[in-house]
Amino acid sequence: MQEAEIQALLEKVEKLLDVHEDLREQNKAMRNAEAAWQAERGKLIQQNEIARRKVAEMITRLQTLERNSG
Q: What is the pLDDT of residue 30?
A: 98
Which pTM value belongs to this model?
Answer: 0.67
Q: What is the pLDDT of residue 21?
A: 98
Q: What is the pLDDT of residue 23?
A: 98
Alpha carbons 65 and 49: distance in angstroms, whole number: 24
Q: What is the DSSP string of 21-35?
A: HHHHHHHHHHHHHHH
What are 6-63's pLDDT values in tens digits? 999 999 999 999 999 999 999 999 999 999 999 999 999 999 999 999 999 999 999 9
Q: What is the pLDDT of residue 1?
A: 75
Q: CA 3 from chain center: how many Å? A: 48
